[in-house]
A and B are shown apart, each in its own frame.
Chain A
Amino acid sequence: MDFLRPASWEEALAAKAEHPTAVPIAGGTDVMVEINFDHRRPEYLLDLNRIAELREWETGEETVRLGASVPYTRIMEELRTELPGLALASHTVASPQIRNRGGVGGNLGTASPAGDAHPALLAPGCEVEVESVRGSRLIPIDDFYTGVKRNALAEDELIRAVHIKKADGPQQYSKVGTRNAMVIAVCAFGIALHPETRTVRTGIGSAAPTPIRAKAAEEFLNAALEEGGFWESKKIITPSIAKQFAELASGAANPIDDVRGTANYRRHAVGIMARRTLGWTWESYRGTSRGSTEGVA
């Protein structure tokens, strides 16, 4: 196994072009586990840790351009206002040590349905900035996940950053695991209210071959909110709307039985999380929320 250590982004792109099988490694929280388990033995490891700009972010008018290696700890601590859903998701990632190393670039590169960040990227909406020696392009997150542990990257491309829409309304994130911390997701749910566009977007993790949005649930809810004039009146969402939203979210899941949980449970839990997170975000939008709901680790 060769270990490539580019000193700059340009060198990294050149190395990836020269060795398309090279596996990029930054925090190593996925790659090292796979190597330790002997699940993969890449010909080349492409170490991105010398490239400082991957650990930086820029806050623009509309979006945050989040470097692929910005550790989860910094997202939790410093991007709570701009990216509240992703900050909540970051809180659920493994242990403090892992959160100090891992970033969303790894989750996107691995594209496992169980990656904690995915629902919190789908719900606000974002674009993944990828680059190769051929040039740079932005992939909408809705087109990014192409199959189980597969994504839309070409073999010579690296993930540079994610352009995530800054929160224009409340966001929430819930994850079910069978332990109260440091646990891989049985399933997860993210939701973002977008009062500017009067839409709600969602994300579901670990309950389908790829991370997905609950599109039917979103469409139903968007129509119901519009029809009932909820965005203007800020009235309480009726239980029947919340119930229908939850059922449709549950129906969007296409899970499997595995050692972590049954398909039936996952469907059930996605529905419960959808109902609860809708309640929390909507109450927050109405201005009645009792404030932060994050645990402080």
Chain B
Amino acid sequence: MADTRTTGIPAKVTQGAKSKGGIGESTLRPDGTLKVTGEFAYSSDMWHEDMLWGQILRSTVAHAEIVSIDTSEALATAGVHAVLTHEDLPAAKNYGMEYQDTPVLAYGKVRHHGEPVALVAADHPETARRAAAKIRIEYRELPLITDEASALAPDAILVHEDRGDHHAGHVTHPNIVHRQPIIRGNAAEAAKRADVIVTGEYTFGMQDQAFLGPESGLAVPAEDGGIDLYVATQWLHSDLKQIAPCLGLPEEKVRMTMAGVGGAFGGREDISMQILASVLALRTGKPVKMVYNRYESFFGHVHRHPAKLHYEHGATKDGKLTHMKCKIVLDGGAYMSSTPSVVGNAASLSVGPYVVDDVEIEAIGLYTNNPPCGAMRGFGAVQACFAYEAQMDKLAAKLGMDPVEFRQKNAMEQGTIMPTGQPVDSPAPVAELLRRVKARPMPPERQWESSEGADVRALPGGLSNTTHGEGVVRGVGYAVGIKNVGFSEGFDDYSTAKIRLEVINGEAVATVHTAAAEVGQGGVTIHAQIARTELGVQQVTIHPADTQVGSAGSTSAGRQTYMTGGAIKNSCSLVREKVLEIGRRKFGSYHPAWASAELLLEGGKVVTDGGEALASLVDVLEDEAVEIEEEWRHRPTQPFDLVTGQGNGHVQYAFAAHRAVVEVDTELGLVKVIELACAQDVGKAINPLSVIGQIQGGTTQGLGVAVMEEIIVDPKTAKVKNPSFTDYLIPTLLDTPTIPVDYLELADPNAPYGVRGIGEAPTLSSTPAVLAAIRNATGLELNKTPVRPEHLTGT
């Protein structure tokens, strides 16, 4: 696939500019071959002598009082070591990332389908499963809260009766988790200037992260009464803060180590089996392994918030946006998870990458009895982008303008003021990204035709052989999006890096120790690249991630290269200073250049900025090791005002644009995406190959929710209807088009090396671009994603 690269103003890098395997190179992943050949040890592959298997019994109803739980028959099963309910929990009974409203095991009530109610440990997983099935639970079912109307009715039953969280005080109904309005300018007044006004109601379905490695881990009881916990997660220290109180242990007695992660996409940011396996291990005194199967995994993590979005935009005849009003309703499901932050994102990014001075925005997150929703790649910005980009096309059509030109006319740029009042203070090449995807040559028409007949692989329906060209119409669509990078709204977002430099076997070796979760994003290459660049050494050891070092924060929000990369860069530069100090002490008197402030580490040596070698690191360090552990923060942010939404809430923005080319079988309603070209500003590509991989992956995940991915919840029962890969479909290779990537490197002066978070932005614009292309092919309005054959055929 063709990839092009454009360099803007380079970040000032002098140290390490000549380092081999440093930043800017596509060094290969050390775990790549292992993963491709099936040798990599994932968290589900762990084994311990004498270990037991944990099994959860989950609720079969979505909302009910628990009348009774009878575990006697399960306990009597041969091979069963423990059967636990909430009564057996040793300490705190709730956990949660932002607020501890989620029961470890349900007590009093269950609030969604698939909520953990009881827990079994047995010497074989099948024994554990069978014993769990023998637990008798009597439920008294309660009315269901399933949508905005049922949640906000004046007499609605409350999903949580006694809310103690910090949002409880300002929301307008107790079934609203959080509400974020943003008012800027005067939308009503500005609307009078509009020559055209368009409105739309949009529905975004519930997407699943669908990571391939199910939730799993191993808890080993330790002699000191603590726990050693090996688990695949996105943020060790956030887990630790939630786990320790539930075990009644001090944090230092819960020692966590990252196990092999098979994908995350936000779905491992919340706790899954961590507390449950630990409770069983403490109770039985034996190591306990837990592995969800695919079915359970669909209940084992939060999903992307489904949303209903109402938008109104106005524009003048010459194509300038006048105002925007929107209301975004996000379904948070039964527990809070990260819903408040998703609400903040949806509200603050609801305008998209456009200049609109007069806005009235309201975003709310609901408590319902649907499955809990929380973090997923794109985090609130995805749903908004789907809606505002549909609006842009509607406006352009109504004005008779080209949809790309219309967007470019209104595109934000550096200096634009966000609806929150925050200025965009680094490059925002929105118009340029659109120009680039539009300027690409179109993929050839009728690629399915060959001398041997139709190649069905190139047609909608693929190998299912549904068309040989009949009914097939091509469509083209564009979209662009804006995503914040890092944790926003005043969160104290930091990462920690411990760097050690020492001589081993006659060579200077750096060890990088962080708690950063490698979930596939490529930290394993990037961390070593940064250490090589900053310390001028070749050998870098990446220490396993664990809680013996300070928090790295979450591997999410596009923040890990920025944040842990920044922490490594910072700690390395402190190590460098220390090394130079040692060098000056030892050798300063031999050469006047040691007095210069501009000394660099390169090729295992201390060199002057003119390239003259002063001493080797081996001679400087001898048997002395230099080790620094230091926290590193991005610039502070502010919360959004609860009435006006004003505040410098975000750290950085990422921008991506897509052009989708689709072919639709208009009679059968089947879609083949032919090409999904992306242009994105990445600030600085630390590892270009990883950058392209991230953009192509994000693009594909956006395609998935455009045409197939949806967790279907029965509105009558609030039960999940398709918890399997038979019926929750994700794109196969034949569904994945050519994804040419064109990336810009316009440095953000506030970020280390100028980097910009890259993983999320392509997930935003991919979905609306595909939708726009399908609309272009069919002439249908299509206000819901995913698009199903029924929507395209009117059946």
Contact = CB atoms under 8 A, between A and B. Distances in A.
Interface string B610-646: 0000000000000000000000000000000000000
Interface string A268-297: 110011001001100000000111111111
A241 interface: no
Contacts of A146: none
A291 B450 CA distance: 10
A295 B795 contact: no
Contacts of B712: 259
Contacts of B707: 178
B464 A174 contact: yes
Interface stretch (A7-15, A179-187, A218-226): A179-187
A181 B667 CA distance: 19
B456 A181 contact: no
B721 interface: yes
A173 B464 CA distance: 8
Contacts of A280: 468
A179 B789 contact: no
A178 to B, nearest CB: 6
B465 A181 contact: no
Contacts of A290: 452-454
A272 B793 CA distance: 11
Interface string B443-479: 0000000001111110011111111101100000000
Interface string A231-272: 000000000000000000000000000011110110111001
B465 A91 contact: yes
B453 A291 contact: yes
A115 to B, nearest CB: 14
Contacts of A293: 453-454, 456, 465, 468
A176 B466 contact: yes
A26 to B, nearest CB: 20
B658 interface: no
Contacts of B87: none
Interface string B328-350: 00000000000000000000000
Contact of A265 (B293, B731, B793): B793
A141 B672 CA distance: 35
Interface in B658-685: 667-670, 672
Contact of A180 (B453, B454, B735, B793): B735
B47 interface: no
B460 A292 contact: no
Contact of B464 (A36, A37, A176): A176
A207 to B, nearest CB: 13
B465 A295 contact: yes
B735 A276 contact: no
Interface string A177-204: 1111111101000000000000000000
A92 interface: yes
Interface size class of A (residues with CB under 8 A): 35 or more
Interface of A is mostly: loop
B732 interface: yes
A117 to B, nearest CB: 14
B464 A180 contact: yes
Contacts of B293: 36
B137 interface: no
A170 B751 CA distance: 65
A177 B465 CA distance: 10
Contact of A176 (B129, B453, B455, B668): B668
A272 B457 contact: no
A240 to B, nearest CB: 18
Given A265-B795, A292-B452, A295-B457, A184 B464 contact: no
A175 interface: yes
A211 B709 CA distance: 28
B788 interface: yes
Contacts of A177: 461, 464
Interface stretch (B13-21, B207-215, B722-730): B722-730
Contacts of A269: 668, 789, 793
A259 B455 contact: no
A130 interface: no
Interface string B230-244: 000000000000000
Among A37, A264, A265, A292, the one with the most B-chain Cβ atoms within 10 Å of its Cβ is A265
Contact of B672 (A180, A268, A291): A180
A88 interface: yes
A176 B795 contact: no
B733 interface: yes
A38 interface: yes
A261 B453 contact: no
Given A176-B668, A181-B733, A92 B789 contact: no
B708 interface: yes
A92 B463 contact: yes
B734 interface: yes
Nearest to B295: A37
A186 B788 CA distance: 12
8 contacts: A36-B293, A92-B465, A174-B461, A178-B788, A179-B462, A179-B708, A272-B668, A293-B453
Given A176-B464, A176-B670, A276-B468, 13 more contacts: A36-B293, A91-B463, A92-B465, A176-B461, A177-B464, A179-B731, A180-B460, A180-B462, A259-B721, A265-B793, A272-B668, A292-B452, A297-B463
Interface of A: 36-38, 88, 91-92, 172-184, 186, 259-262, 264-265, 267-269, 272-273, 276, 279-280, 289-297
> 10 shortest A-B CB distances, which residue pairs?
A180-B462, A295-B456, A265-B795, A181-B734, A295-B457, A264-B795, A175-B464, A180-B734, A291-B453, A290-B453
Interface of B: 129, 293, 295, 452-457, 460-468, 470-471, 667-670, 672, 707-708, 712, 721-722, 724, 726-727, 729, 731-735, 788-790, 793, 795
